[in-house]
């Protein structure tokens, strides 16, 4: 009986303390901060001559929209009103042709287009789709690419075999020469099997006008910012509820990854990160971070409720948001309203 008489007041005290502790939680509540108003959509199924499967999009200085089709291995150009202009690229091994067109691409301030041709070739085109040249940096393979000031290329280089002194971010000059290596993955990869290391080292990246580099591993949701000297500014752990999914994929026991993060872009004073999982009736979630501090400001949804992910996002002037349904072959342009 003594035990029961003593225990009841103790439990009551603990419950009171717990209530007080929870009541004093001052952590900020992250809310939906952007609504999207649709301005344009381009359906890749409407015209068989211009049929496309959108892997990613980019915008040139004249507001023209380019859609990268990794299936047909070509790029389609549309004017700012969504009217088809021209296309370029096809399957092959000659200049201007692709044997494996990567999902990610970049365009610089001179409207030079940079495309990834498997495994590590970077091909340059002008804004009319005319082939310029191919460069071949000394890396194992490239997942994403961005351009600083039309002079410096920034790539996420995956490590498939050589993990000695590995850095996920590499700077190249216009000839493809390596001029700097930096960055980290934020996780211990020493005991990981090779297939998992490859997933962790796959990063999406972008740069701002000052030359700062922002990136995140697609399977470990952390946002990194490095300055122009390659020094870490901040590292932020993202707040996704998901983990990367690895599934065996025939042949050769390879694994197909369902990532946590699909894409990242920087515009004006904000960084946007597209989740790779968790589709809702309003589409996939995009987190919005302050680019200077790394603070999570809020989120919004892509408004494209496809069961397969929207694999890319693009924000222009901090005002216009582009995304695509890879499954339904539709590209969307929205105005962002805060």
Note the pLDDT tens digit of each residue in 227-284.
999 999 999 999 999 999 988 876 666 788 899 999 999 999 999 999 999 999 999 9
Residues facing 254 on adjacent strands:
249
In a domain, 107, yes or no: yes
In a domain, 63, yes or no: yes
The CA angle 268-269-274, to the nearest 5 degrees, is 85
| Average of per-residue pLDDT across 144-149 | 95
Summarize pLDDT for 2-23 with one digit per residue, the tens.
333 333 443 334 343 334 334 4
Distance of CA 79 to the CA centre of its chain: 24
Supply the range of the domain harboring residue 148. 28-337
Locate 115 and state its tokens: 């495309």
In a domain, 19, yes or no: no
Task: Point out the least confidently predicted range of 46-50, 127-131, 237-241.
Answer: 46-50
Distance CA 156, CA 217 (A): 10
* pLDDT for the residue numbered 269: 97
For residues 77 and 129, the answer to whether their CB atoms sit within 8 Å is yes
Domain CATH code at residue 311: 2.120.10.30
Of 274, 270, 272, 265, the C-alpha closest to 242 is 274
In a domain, 20, yes or no: no
pTM flag (> 0.95): no
Q: Which residue has the tokens 């939680």?
A: 25
Locate 16 and state its tokens: 């009171």
Q: For the chain, what's the residue count? A: 338
Distance CA 148, CA 288 (A): 22
In a domain, 12, yes or no: no
Residues facing 335 on adjacent strands:
37, 320
* pLDDT for the residue numbered 195: 83
In a domain, 7, yes or no: no
In a domain, 17, yes or no: no
Number of structural domains found in the chain = 1
- Tell me which of 10 and 59 has the higher pLDDT: 59
* pLDDT for the residue numbered 250: 67
Mean pLDDT of the chain: 88
In a domain, 10, yes or no: no
Q: Which residue has the tokens 């399977």?
A: 219
């Amino acid at each position: 009986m003594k035990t029961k008489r003593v225990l009841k007041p103790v439990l009551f005290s603990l419950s009171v303390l717990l209530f007080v502790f929870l009541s004093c939680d001052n952590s900020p509540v992250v809310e939906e901060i952007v609504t999207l108003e649709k301005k344009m959509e381009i359906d890749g199924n409407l015209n068989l001559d211009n049929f496309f499967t959108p892997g990613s999009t980019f915008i040139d200085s004249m507001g023209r929209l380019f859609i990268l089709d990794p299936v047909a291995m070509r790029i389609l150009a549309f004017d700012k009103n969504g009217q088809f202009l021209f296309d370029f690229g096809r399957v092959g091994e000659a200049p201007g042709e692709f044997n494996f067109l990567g999902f990610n691409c970049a365009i610089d301030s001179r409207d030079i287009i940079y495309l990834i041709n498997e495994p590590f070739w970077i091909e340059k085109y002008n804004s009319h789709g005319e082939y310029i040249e191919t460069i071949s940096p000394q890396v194992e393979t490239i997942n994403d690419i961005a351009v600083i000031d039309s002079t410096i290329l920034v790539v996420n280089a995956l490590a498939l075999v050589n993990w000695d002194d590995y850095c996920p971010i590499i700077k190249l000059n216009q000839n493809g020469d390596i001029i700097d290596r930096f960055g980290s993955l934020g996780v211990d990869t020493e005991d990981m099997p090779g297939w998992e290391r490859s997933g962790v080292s796959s990063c999406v990246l972008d740069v701002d006008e000052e030359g700062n580099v922002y990136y995140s591993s697609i399977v470990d949701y952390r946002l990194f910012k490095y300055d122009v000297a390659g020094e870490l500014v901040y590292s932020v752990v993202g707040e996704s509820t998901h983990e990367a999914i690895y599934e065996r994929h025939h042949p050769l026991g390879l694994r197909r990854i369902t990532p946590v993060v699909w894409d990242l872009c920087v515009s004006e004073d904000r960084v946007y990160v597209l989740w790779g999982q968790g589709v809702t009736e309003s589409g996939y979630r995009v987190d919005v971070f302050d680019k200077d501090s790394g603070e999570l400001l809020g989120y919004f949804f892509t408004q494209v409720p496809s069961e397969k992910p929207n694999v890319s996002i693009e924000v222009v002037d901090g005002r216009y948001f582009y995304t695509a349904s890879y499954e339904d072959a539709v590209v969307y342009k929205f105005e962002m309203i805060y």
